[in-house]
Each structure stands twice: as C-alpha cells, then as structure tokens.
Amino acid sequence: MRKLFADVVLPVPVPKAFTYAVPAELEQEIVKGVRVVVQFGRKKLYSAVVVNVHNVPPTGYEVKEIVDVLDSAPVLTPQQLALWEWIGAYYMAYPGDVMKAALPAGMKLESETRIHLEHEEEADELPDEDQRALRLVAQKKNVTVQDLAKELGLKNPLPLLNRLISGHYLRVEELIRESIKPRTESVVVLHPSVCSEEAVNNLFETLSAAPAQQKLLLAYVSMAQPLKWDEPPRVTQKALLEKTQVSYGVLKACRDKHIFLIEQREISRLDDAEASTGATSLSDIQLQAYQGVISQMEQKEVVLLHGVTGSGKTEVYIHLIMKMLAEAKQVLYLLPEIALTTQIITRLTRVFGEKVGVYHSKFSDAQRTEVYNRMLHGEDGVGGNRYNLILGVRSSVFLPFTNLGLVIIDEEHENTYKQYDPAPRYHARDTAMVLAANFGAKVLLGTATPSVETYYNAMSGKYGLVELLTRHRDVELPRAELANTLRARKMKQMSAMFSPQLLGAIEQAIAKKEQVILFQNRRGFSPYVECMECAHIPKCQNCDVSLTYHKAGNQLVCHYCGFTTKVPDRCPACHSTDIKTRGFGTEKIEEELQLLFPELRISRMDLDTTRSRTSYEQIISDFEEHKVDVMVGTQMVTKGLDFDKVSVVGVLDADSMLNFPDFRAHERSFQLMAQVSGRAGRKEKQGLVVIQTSQPEHPVLSLIVNNNFKGFFNSEVEQRRQYLYPPFFRLIRISVKHRDKAVTEAAANALAELLRQVFGKRVLGPEEPVVARIQTFFIRNILLKIERERSAAKAKDLIAECILQVKGRDEFRSVFFSPDVDPY
C-alpha cells in the first residue's frame, strides 16, 4: 500500500509548506482545504491547513504524523488557496504569514492561544467532557490551550476546542483588536406568567392599591399593540417611563413581582435606517456611465470609473450590484478603511437589507468567523442564504467566495489598501484583481482622483475608462483659493495658524449658519516640544523620531513605538525652563480656534477621537445634525463623507504634504486636497476651499486650484518616466533590521553588494530611512528598480537567494530582512 503525505501551511513564518504523514485511519478525511492538527517545534500543537495531498515522501527530515483532523469538509476553497499562493509568491511572503492574515483568529488554534468563555450560561446539552472543559475555563480565566490540555489530560485538545468555539461557548483572545461592544437598550415585556387576557385583567384589580404600577401596566398594554399573548411585543423602557412619568423604581417593583421582564436588546445604526426603500433611479448622465461600465466590461477585465466627488458613483455601484445579484452572482465591495463604512452601510442596507455582510477589523473575531462561515456553508449550514454582497476592508479579499461576479474597489487610489506591517505586505486592490480573475469576475475601480498607476493603465487601454465629471444635479465643484502664509506671517497678519483669508471664510460661513471642515495632514506637522534656549527637541529613546506632544496628561508620545514620557520641566540639554510646543496637529487647531471664537461648536476627528466605532459614528452624526459648526480632522475627513451644509473647507498646511520625502508626495497631495475639497458645497451652493501655503507658486497647487487632474497626471507621469518610478518600473524595497547598529549596516552593505552583482545599477542604497530606528531596531533600506518588461518572478527568486546567502552567514543570523513589493 502506498503511503499518503500532506503538505500543510502552519501559522508560523517558515518559507514553505511542511510535509506530514497521513495516518491510515485519516486517509479519507484529509483532503485539500481542511484544517488538521500537527505538532511543530517542541511539543507545540497547531491547526494547519492542508494544501496538497500526495505520495512523495520528503527527504532530509523525519516525517511526523498528522495528529488529527479538525474539519469534516474543506474550510478553504480552491480559489482561496490559489490566492494564498499568488500572494506568497508576488509579495515574497511566507505561506504561514499569508494564513495568519487570511483567517479569523478562531480558526487558527495553537498551544499558546488563550481561551475565554463566550458567555456565562449553562451548557447542559453538551457531553461531559465539553462541560468539564467549560468549567475549567470558567475557573482558571485566561488559560492557554496547552494548560487546558494538561488539566483535562488530553494530548490533543484542539478538536474539542474547535467544537466549542464554533458552538459559541468559547472564544479565543484577541490581543490587538479592541472589539466594539454593541449598543444596547432596555426593553420591557410582559412576564410569561401573566400572558393571558384573564391574568392581565386580574392584575389590574390587584394593582388598584398600587396606582403607579397599574399605570405602567395600562401603558404597556396600550403601547404593545397588537398584543399577541403567545408572543407579547417589547416596548422600550425609555418610552414606557416617558409616557407614564413614573420612576424606574416602580418598574423594578413590577419586575420583582413578575409582572414584567426587563431585557437588553442590541441596537445598531442600521435599525435607524429606513427599511428597504429600493434604489434611487439614475440620472441620464449616471445611466450613461452605468451602461458604459457594462459595455466596457464586455471587453476589459477592469474598468475605471473616474467620477468627481458627488457625481453619484455610489449610485452607479448600487445599480451594478443589483444587476449582479439578479444574475445570482456575488459582489465584493471594498473600502479602504472602516472610517468610511458607516454611511455606505446605511445606504446599501436600505437597498439590499439582509443580503449585505460586513467584514472589517473593528468587528470582534467571533463576528468575523460568523461571516466567514456563512459565506462558506450558508446560514443553514448547507449552502442556503449565503451573503451575496460583502462590504469590507482589505482582509475581505480572503473570504470564501463561491460565485464571485464583480469586485468594486471604491477610492481605489487610497494607500491604506496596502498592508505595511506585518507580512504579507499586500495591496488589496491588486490582490482583488487576481481574486476576480480566478473567478472570471470583473473589477470596477472607482475614484475622483485615480492613482497614477491606474490612470496610466486606463490611458494605455489596459483598463476600460468611464468618466462622470459633473456632480449630481449640476452642483458646482468648489472654488479653490491659495492663502499665502509666508507673506501673512511677515506682515504679522496670522492669528495662530490661521491666515486672514481662512478666518474670514470661517466667519462668513458661520454667520450664514453653514458648516466648516478644517484639514491637517497627520503625516506632516505633529506637535513637538522645543527648548527655546538651545533648540533641543526630545526624541524617542527607541526610534529616531521626535516625540509628539499630547496635551492630555502633558505627555510626549512616540508614534512609532508608543513610548510615553512627561514633558520635562527643564531642558535635558541646557536646563532652561523655556520649553514651548511647536508645530500643530488637529488638537492644537481646535484649541486655537476656540480661543478665537469662544462660541463656536467644534469637534475633532482623528485617530485619538475615533478609537471605537461608536465614537466615530457619534462625531459624524453630531456633524450631520448640525450640533457642531466646525470639524477639525486628519485624512479621515477627506474620505467619501457626504455632508450637506459644509460651505468652507480649509487646508491648514499644504507645504508639509508637498515636501514629504516620498516619490508619491505630489500624487498624495493632489488626491488629499481634491478629496477634502469635495466635502464643500454639496447641494445648491458652490463651496469654497482655502489652501494655506508658503509656496503659492508650486506647480501642483495651481493644478489643484484648477481641478486639472489630467494636467496633473501628464506632468506627474513624465516625472515618473524620467526618474524610473512606477508605473514604468517595479519597486522592491528590502528592509534590514537588527538591534545592533553596526550589524545592521554590515548586513545591509553585504546584501546590497550581492544584489549589485546580479542587478547592477538597479540597486539603490542601503539608505537610512527618515525614521531609522523603530522599537529598538535599527533599519536600513535597499531599493530595487526593475523594468516592467523584465520577469518579476525571476527577479524575486534572485533576491530571495541573495537574502538567504547573507542570512546564512553566522554574523547575520539574527538579522531580519523584509522585502516589500510595490512599497507605499
């Protein structure tokens, strides 16, 4: 009899799949795409994914046997596994890193995973062993898989745990993610013991001695219409108490007497949205665009919808989705980040109701596993009622689609589509195109400001192009003006960071009861402190960057590693006490503006104020309801949000964007400023954008003021051609990291030298990056520029070989080499 072997991917960073022997009794069950339990390293157990079954015994190491199998059917489709493989090869990532990015935590158990109870309820229905495990987790709190195995006397606890996790009895710990607690409200319902007409009538009698309680009962009956005795309706506690004007104590007394039950019910913004109102009908111009997309898709795999902000791109998407769903095809709607989802979810749910599955990182792991499973098995476990529309961020390209017909990539130019750390450093837009191709599905890229790469592909005919260059109902695009801060500063006309032009515009808008958005780029100025005597600026002790000043707690924080310290009373260098904050962030803008206009209602939207989804939603809805006059924010305010009363947008500091040391700085500046301008004047009225700069003659600024995207593209693409950048060249950056500076430099030099022997002048560096030390690691970067025409696959093989050679030397064994393909 021939022996079977399985190649499995483990959630650990090793270069290849590992081969294990298939025990005879598991031969039937072990197929491509199921998860198995294997031992790896010292006695550690992992859940791993089978990617291949064959009968070639591996040579060079002793084969271990697979311990067990976790799934009775594959949990990964062939298309998913194909995508994993592509990502691994294209982005030079280990398969284990791809697996880690691709699966929700609940699907990746290992010995070190920490386990918690999902809820406190009894589980009498379970077998004894399962109950014993639950009791142990309850007692021990925060126990690892390994500990649990020991206590239970089980060699392999993973199947048991897998069962309890998918049954929602247990959950795995999520370290990084803060999950959102669902918002809840209290609801009141008749106690089951009094659920009949007779019982209620009797109660009325008995309650005549307690008039307040009687009032509650009466109010409940009148509100809970139609009153079905077998399933009495719930009314909100708030409404009940408001209507009766009795105190909560009375309601509690009723509960204790078993007249009412008080329950918690989850509420989401979605419930506020009107139920299925259907789609709006497209205007003539939008209809043309819609038909244009469809006809272009007959010839091209990818179509770019270049539509100015407010032109109705989202409406066009909605109609395309309807068409796909009617053909029983699935649609993936990608968004660059969660910040954008709120308004879109509401719009899509209105049209598509239950069919929308939302997948993003702020959801708990259990919720994400739920979406994953419903995609795979359907709601009923046998393929019924799968989601056919997924709205998600980057990682939703990893979901188990079965019948994908269309991928919509909204705001395709956004660089948050690119994962920076950890590996795999994949670009979700480019990955989604491969995903689509695996299904023979089409891709629609939508944006008001296409990336240079995408627009180049559209111009060269590789992608289809459809334009939508007027706003819906001919709302005018805003007028943009430059405010010369250099001159204003010299003439002492600046108030804090505000030019007279911007202040005037704000005052006028407020006088007319209109709203204002002020934008400050996060990457530009962040506030720091400086000694006025000797110009010393406190830096992070782990990273080569200045510490950022946070007013809360008077602290200095490193934005790369989180190092935090108090602002010193005296300068550490010269002991002067004259220490001032310099630069400005959103917090500072808010503060200064408040000083200038004490009456103004100001809110702030940035990473600090939007930690949870609810706080983000709160800021948006306050602004929508005009409880706030001015919103100050970072990048977040530039994103697809749609407010009606905004007439003025201010860009506080264009210079820091334009001068950022990166070949995409001009592209980013154009995109950011065009996007944030798009927030001004959405209905009836032309908006105004004021851009503050000390270099008003900068050519990119005049292109922005004239909203001349094509002009910008033409000049930018020439520069890219001249300086050998994308789309003409492919970039691969290799970061070399080590705790010792000399070792880092030596390793980087050795690698660069080796690469030069192969690639010659295509190798640049090693170079010290802007931030040359992060979390105690020194960093040197090597950049390769490879001609588009050359085989990228071959180049990557050669690079990997060079890295292996350098890493093979004793002195460089502990150095990290991280390749980043198409870096951003």
**Which region among 194-202, 316-324, 556-564, 795-803 touches Zn ion (by CB under 5 A)?**
556-564
Long-range contacts, 761-766 (Cβ 8 Å, 24+): 762/786, 766/736
534: left (phi over 0), alpha (psi -120 to 50) or beta: alpha
Does 307 interact with ligand ADP (rule: CB under 6 A)? yes
Residue 188 to residues 217, 234, 246, Cα–Cα distance (Å) = 11, 5, 14
**Angle subtended at Cα 105 by Cα 99 and Cα 110, rounded to the nearest 5 degrees:** 80
| Nearest residue to 377 via CA among 77, 104, 81 | 77
Tokens of 798: 């050669």
Residue pair 371/399 in contact (Cβ under 8 Å)? The answer is yes
Least separation, in Å, of the C-beta of 254 and ligand ADP?
A: 45
Residue 468 to residues 54, 202, 324, Cα–Cα distance (Å) = 53, 68, 21
**Which region among 74-82, 311-319, 649-657, 712-720 touches ligand ADP (by CB under 6 A)?**
311-319
Least separation, in Å, of the C-beta of 325 and ligand ADP?
A: 19
Nearer to Zn ion, 269 or 536 (CB): 536
How many binding residues for ligand ADP (CB under 6 A)?
Answer: 14
d(CA 817, CA 700): 36
Does 749 interact with ligand ADP (rule: CB under 6 A)? no
Which one of residues 234, 300, 313, 780 is an interface residue with ligand ADP (CB under 6 A)? 313
Nearer to ligand ADP, 307 or 687 (CB): 307
Please report, as a single letter, which amino acid is at residue 105.
A
d(CA 545, CA 682): 40
97 binds, among Zn ion, ligand ADP, none (CB under 5 to 8 A by kind): none
311 binds, among ligand ADP, Zn ion, none (CB under 5 to 8 A by kind): ligand ADP
Q: By CB under 5 A, what part of segment 715-774 binds Zn ion?
A: none
Does 542 interact with Zn ion (rule: CB under 5 A)? yes
Q: By CB under 6 A, what part of segment 240-299 binds ligand ADP?
A: 280, 282-283, 286
319 binds, among ligand ADP, Zn ion, none (CB under 5 to 8 A by kind): none
Does 534 interact with Zn ion (rule: CB under 5 A)? yes
684: left (phi over 0), alpha (psi -120 to 50) or beta: left
| Nearest residue to 411 via CA among 316, 304, 326 | 304
Per-residue x/- track, 547-586, ligand ADP (CB under 6 A): ----------------------------------------
Which one of residues 77, 309, 515, 634 is an interface residue with ligand ADP (CB under 6 A)? 309
Q: How many CB atoms lie within 10 A of CB 604?
A: 22
Which one of residues 311, 330, 364, 520 is an interface residue with ligand ADP (CB under 6 A)? 311
Least separation, in Å, of the C-beta of 274 and ligand ADP?
A: 13
Q: How many CB atoms lie within 10 A of CB 534?
A: 12
Does 564 interact with Zn ion (rule: CB under 5 A)? no
Q: Strand 630-633 and strand 646-651: pairing? A: unpaired
Which one of residues 206, 564, 565, 576 is an interface residue with Zn ion (CB under 5 A)? 576
Does 312 interact with ligand ADP (rule: CB under 6 A)? yes
542 binds, among Zn ion, ligand ADP, none (CB under 5 to 8 A by kind): Zn ion
Tokens of 52: 């291949």
Question: Positive or negative CA dihedral for 769, 773, 775, 778?
Answer: positive
| Nearest residue to 19 via CA among 9, 33, 31 | 9
DSSP 156-196: --HHHHHHHHHTTSEEE--SSPPPPPPEEEEEEEE-GGG-S
Does 642 interact with ligand ADP (rule: CB under 6 A)? yes
Least separation, in Å, of the C-beta of 482 and ligand ADP?
A: 25
Backbone angles phi, psi at 174, to 5 degrees: -115, 115
**Which region among 127-135, 198-206, 303-311, 543-551 touches ligand ADP (by CB under 6 A)?**
303-311
Per-residue x/- track, 26-65, ligand ADP (CB under 6 A): ----------------------------------------
563 binds, among ligand ADP, Zn ion, none (CB under 5 to 8 A by kind): Zn ion
**E strands of 495-554, at which residues?**
515-519, 528-531, 548-550
Helix 613-624 and helix 341-352, axial crossing angle in degrees, nearest 10: 80
Least separation, in Å, of the C-beta of 771 and Zn ion?
A: 9
d(CA 451, CA 709): 11
Residue with tokens 């970039």: 731
Least separation, in Å, of the C-beta of 500 and ligand ADP?
A: 32
Least separation, in Å, of the C-beta of 454 and ligand ADP?
A: 16
Does 478 interact with ligand ADP (rule: CB under 6 A)? no
776 binds, among Zn ion, ligand ADP, none (CB under 5 to 8 A by kind): none
Residue with tokens 């395309």: 320
| Nearest residue to 157 via CA among 165, 64, 174 | 165
Does 310 interact with ligand ADP (rule: CB under 6 A)? yes
Does 547 interact with Zn ion (rule: CB under 5 A)? no
d(CA 290, CA 406): 14
531 binds, among ligand ADP, Zn ion, none (CB under 5 to 8 A by kind): Zn ion
Least separation, in Å, of the C-beta of 701 and ligand ADP?
A: 24
Please report, as a single letter, which amino acid is at residue 469.
L
Does 646 interact with ligand ADP (rule: CB under 6 A)? no
Q: Is the peptide bond before 766 cis (omega within 30 degrees of 0)?
A: yes
Per CB under 5 A, residues contacting Zn ion are 531, 533-534, 536, 540, 542-543, 558, 560-561, 563, 571, 573-574, 576
Per CB under 6 A, residues contacting ligand ADP are 280, 282-283, 286, 307, 309-315, 472, 642
